[in-house]
């Protein structure tokens, strides 16, 4: 079996594609080719994963009417032709896209050539590429059931988001022992790999002013913010129950041990939270297209699975109140955990690989 995978621009599109690639190679012996852009971070991530990559030269549309969009449209038309040549040369049995503008010409070309196609949407609110392709692809896989009526096409199937398998290799008790934690609740706060400036500012005030003696806190600031955060926290506020790192590199172990997660609401992050059944305080990034993260967070909030604090309302007092609310009783926290777990899908990668394999046989 041969599979072309396309998705790029951000890790949120690339990592699901890599999870599918690994699953297809391991479970179906598939030969995999990635298609990305010459400039995207997919080149580094796909290369590190050991898969070959080819390129189409395509850019994203500006959301405003500008002369630049004429150039983008011309590049898109040319990239469809380039994608057709790649597809004819590689001769895939199925073509899979995981979002981002790079997969648009690839799936469009595959559909025109009669190759079975599958596109996967990570967020609750479908992006422009998925909306555009949902009418021409063989199947659309979604990560949230709430997405299906928004697309309104009969070819949708709910699969969940492909997740890192190392997340499921630690138990709560074993992870806590390995991390040397005591019986106090373990609270983990992070703003993504690059960090989040507003969350870091509130972290500083929270550590300075809140009574943190009843919890154990781990915070990841992002590498570029770490020195500034540490310089702003007085030595008197740096206690043994508070650990601040530039980056949390053992996230699987840390999330397994956590009683409460405080983080952004990217699609993969909240899919991990739900699959693990964790209580959370979500602070959606306001800097993403279509306000995706707030929609993601509200989907959990409606089920009682999280607390949401919008960034403009985020203060150390609001954070302290939310932490106290979630942790004030074990029964309350367990209810949030159960609600999250009910939304979680731990086998999304297997579902997507099986779906791709079934399409390949058509």
Averaged pLDDT in 10-residue chunks for the chain of 362 residues: 89 88 96 92 90 87 62 78 96 95 94 97 91 94 94 94 88 97 97 85 96 96 94 87 94 96 95 97 91 95 97 97 94 96 95 97 87
Q: Where are the beta strands (DSSP E) in 64-206?
A: 94-97, 117-121, 139-142, 156-158, 186-190
**Looking at the structure, do residues 119 and 206 belong to the same domain, yes or no?**
no
Sign for the pseudo-dihedral over CA of 223, 228, 229, 231: positive
**Looking at the structure, do residues 135 and 227 belong to the same domain, yes or no?**
no
Sign for the pseudo-dihedral over CA of 266, 21, 10, 191: positive
Number of domains in the chain: 2
**Looking at the structure, do residues 126 and 154 belong to the same domain, yes or no?**
yes
The CATH number linked to 63 is 3.40.50.2000
Give the strands of the sheet with 280-282, arranged side by side: 242-245, 216-220, 186-190, 260-263, 280-282, 306-308
Quote the pLDDT of residue 169: 92
Token representation of residue 92: 């895939």
**Looking at the structure, do residues 51 and 171 belong to the same domain, yes or no?**
no
**Looking at the structure, do residues 249 and 292 belong to the same domain, yes or no?**
yes
Quote the pLDDT of residue 131: 92
**Looking at the structure, do residues 136 and 208 belong to the same domain, yes or no?**
no
**Looking at the structure, do residues 134 and 171 belong to the same domain, yes or no?**
no
Separation between Cα atoms, residue 29 and residue 51, nearest integer Å: 14
Smallest Cα–Cα separation from 223: which of 200, 250, 202, 252? 200
**Looking at the structure, do residues 196 and 334 belong to the same domain, yes or no?**
yes
Token representation of residue 194: 């690059």
**Looking at the structure, do residues 148 and 171 belong to the same domain, yes or no?**
no
**Looking at the structure, do residues 151 and 42 belong to the same domain, yes or no?**
yes
For residue 234, with 0-12 CB atoms within 10 Å meaning exposed, 13-18 middle and 19 or more buried, which class applies? Answer: exposed
Can you say how many angstroms the Cα of residue 293 is from the centroid of all Cα atoms in its chain?
A: 10
**Looking at the structure, do residues 41 and 178 belong to the same domain, yes or no?**
no
Quote the pLDDT of residue 115: 97
**Looking at the structure, do residues 141 and 40 belong to the same domain, yes or no?**
yes
Q: Which domain covers residue 145, as residue numbers? A: 2-162+347-360
**154 Cβ neighbours under 8 A, 6+ residues apart:** none
């Amino acid at each position: 079996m041969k599979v072309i995978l396309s998705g790029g621009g951000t890790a949120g599109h690339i990592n699901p594609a890599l999870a599918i690639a690994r699953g297809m190679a391991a479970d179906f012996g598939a030969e995999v080719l990635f298609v990305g852009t010459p400039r995207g971070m997919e080149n580094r991530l796909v290369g590190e994963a050991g898969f070959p990559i080819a390129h189409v030269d395509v850019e994203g549309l500006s959301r405003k009417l500008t002369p630049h969009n004429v150039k983008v449209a011309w590049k898109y038309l040319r990239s469809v032709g380039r994608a057709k040549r790649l597809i004819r040369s590689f001769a895939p049995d199925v073509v899979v896209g995981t979002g981002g503008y790079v997969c648009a010409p690839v799936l469009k070309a595959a559909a025109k050539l009669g190759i079975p196609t599958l596109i996967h949407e990570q967020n609750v609110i479908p992006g422009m590429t998925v909306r555009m392709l949902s009418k021409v692809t063989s199947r659309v896989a979604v990560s949230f059931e709430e997405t299906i009526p928004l697309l309104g096409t009969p070819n949708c199937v709910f699969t969940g988001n492909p997740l890192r398998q190392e997340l499921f290799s630690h138990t709560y008790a074993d992870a806590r022992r390995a991390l040397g934690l005591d019986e106090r609740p373990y609270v983990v706060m992070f703003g993504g790999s690059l960090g989040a400036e507003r969350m870091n500012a509130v972290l500083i005030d929270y550590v300075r002013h809140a009574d943190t003696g009843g919890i154990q806190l781990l915070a990841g600031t992002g590498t570029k913010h770490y020195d500034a955060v540490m310089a702003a926290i007085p030595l008197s506020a740096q206690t043994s129950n508070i650990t601040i790192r530039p980056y949390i590199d053992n996230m699987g172990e840390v999330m397994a041990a956590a009683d409460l997660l405080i983080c952004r609401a990217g699609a993969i992050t909240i899919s991990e939270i739900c699959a693990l059944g964790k209580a959370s305080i979500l602070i959606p990034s306001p800097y993403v297209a279509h306000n995706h993260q707030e929609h993601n967070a509200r989907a959990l909030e409606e089920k009682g699975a999280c607390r949401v604090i919008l960034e403009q309302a985020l203060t150390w007092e609001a954070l302290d109140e939310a932490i106290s609310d979630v942790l004030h009783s074990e029964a309350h926290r367990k209810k949030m955990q159960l609600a999250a777990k009910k939304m979680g899908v731990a086998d999304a990668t297997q579902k997507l690989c099986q779906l791709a394999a079934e399409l390949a046989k058509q």
